[in-house]
């Protein structure tokens, strides 16, 4: 092995003899990568998708952010007995023969449409409960299908007529539809309708039927002359009002539930000179008791019927008192 001192001197001489790097060339090369903010320098490339995005501070308008709704069908289609709504939502389209036909969702038929399908003259087994000397006559619209079949007034289970009679005090106990005619003997309460033709609902009656029925009803009441009548439903009263007023559209700003004015009493009779022969029956307008009439809550209906019940309660007490006097 050689002398370590000599090897160290030789290595030192080798390093000192190597050329130094060119500093100026290095700086020139680095300046090529120096940032320049020149105005005419081309802008950096950006993705068109990124550039089209709104800035974070941009708030889209409600109209632009609203979801597009599916178009609605403009025609109703029928297939057999199935009925489709004219405004049903489009379902998946059906392609047939190269043409795209929108597939529509079925809807339930309306009550008026179902009424139109009813037989024009189904059997009606309901007869009027009328005779002279009655205290009250209940006036309905027309027999429903169940009422017509059974011959019992307000026979459908959803109808609240018998409940309201009892709860309001018109009758001291709750009765059932089969006891319709018994009310005449028990409390002098009768029953009739403005129209005799049965339908599924009142929508099945024509305007002409209602007008003709109003005239017939007025004559019935004038013939039997009950002390009072109750109109079971505002719609019935509107038909009677139109005939009495000779109007085509109901527009009574003074309409109110309960007892009506004397000049609007049902059965009012005038002679040729315009003199009142009979003032008519006291007329009380109450709510409909049909299960289809859900505009008012049960408590609201009962509140409207209650004054009639109070009047009937008073009449029963007077009748009982007169019986005691006559028995003495």
- What is residue 104's DSSP assignment? B
Is residue 167 included in any domain, yes or no? yes
Q: What is the pLDDT of residues 6-44, one digit of tens each?
A: 666 666 565 555 555 566 777 777 777 666 655 455 555
The pLDDT score that the predictor gives to residue 114 is: 56
| Cβ contact 190:131 at 8 Å | yes
| Cβ contact 225:265 at 8 Å | no
Sheet strands side by side (includes 189-193):
189-193, 136-140, 228-232, 282-286, 258-259
Say yes or no to pLDDT of 63 above 60.
no
Say yes or no to pLDDT of 125 above 90.
yes
Is residue 249 included in any domain, yes or no? yes
More confident residue, 52 or 258: 258
Q: Enumerate residues 6+ apart whose C-beta is below 8 A from 41.
A: none
Is residue 93 included in any domain, yes or no? no
- Among the residue ranges 77-91, 199-213, 296-310, the one predicted with the least confidence is 77-91
In this structure, the chain runs to a length of: 328
| Cβ contact 73:88 at 8 Å | yes
| Domain residue limits at 133 | 121-326
| Cβ contact 94:156 at 8 Å | no
Q: Across the chain, what does the average pLDDT equal?
A: 80
Total domains in the fold of the chain: 1
Is residue 221 included in any domain, yes or no? yes
User: CATH code at 309?
Assistant: 3.40.470.10
The pLDDT score that the predictor gives to residue 13 is: 60
Q: What is the pLDDT of residues 261-284, one digit of tens each?
A: 999 999 999 999 989 999 999 999
Is residue 245 included in any domain, yes or no? yes
Q: What is the pLDDT of residues 288-317, one digit of tens each?
A: 999 888 889 999 999 999 999 999 999 999
pTM over 0.75: no
Q: Report the alpha-carbon distance of residue 257 to residue 237 in Å, rounded.
A: 10
Is residue 16 included in any domain, yes or no? no
């Amino acid at each position: 092995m050689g002398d370590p001192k000599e090897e160290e001197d030789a290595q030192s001489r080798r390093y000192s003899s190597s050329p130094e790097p060119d500093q100026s060339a290095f700086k020139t090369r680095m300046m090529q990568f120096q940032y320049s903010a020149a105005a005419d320098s081309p802008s950096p490339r950006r993705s068109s998708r990124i550039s089209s995005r709104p800035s974070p501070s941009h708030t889209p308008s409600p109209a632009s952010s609203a979801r597009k709704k599916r178009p609605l069908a403009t025609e109703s289609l029928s297939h057999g007995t199935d009925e489709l709504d004219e405004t049903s939502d489009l379902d998946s389209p059906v392609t047939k023969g190269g043409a795209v036909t929108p597939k529509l969702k079925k809807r339930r038929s309306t009550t008026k449409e179902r009424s139109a399908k009813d037989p024009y003259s189904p059997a009606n087994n309901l007869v009027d409960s009328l005779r002279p000397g009655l205290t009250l006559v209940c006036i309905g619209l027309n027999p429903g299908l169940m009422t017509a079949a059974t011959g019992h007034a307000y026979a459908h289970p959803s109808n609240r007529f018998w409940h309201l009679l009892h709860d309001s005090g018109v009758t001291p106990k709750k009765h059932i539809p089969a006891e319709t005619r018994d009310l005449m003997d028990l409390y002098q309460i009768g029953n009739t309708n403005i129209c005799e033709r049965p339908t599924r609902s009142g929508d099945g009656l024509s305007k002409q039927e209602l007008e003709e029925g109003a005239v017939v009803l007025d004559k019935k009441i004038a013939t039997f002359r009950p002390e009072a009548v109750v109109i079971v439903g505002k719609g019935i009263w509107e038909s009677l009002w139109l005939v009495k007023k000779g109007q085509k559209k109901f527009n009574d700003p003074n309409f109110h539930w309960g007892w009506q004015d004397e000049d609007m009493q049902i059965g009012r009779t005038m002679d040729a000179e315009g003199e009142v022969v009979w003032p008519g029956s006291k007329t009380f307008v109450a709510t409909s008791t049909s299960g289809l009439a859900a505009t008012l809550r049960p408590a609201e209906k009962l509140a409207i019927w209650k004054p009639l019940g109070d009047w009937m309660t008073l009449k029963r007490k007077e009748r009982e008192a007169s019986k005691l006097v006559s028995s003495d």
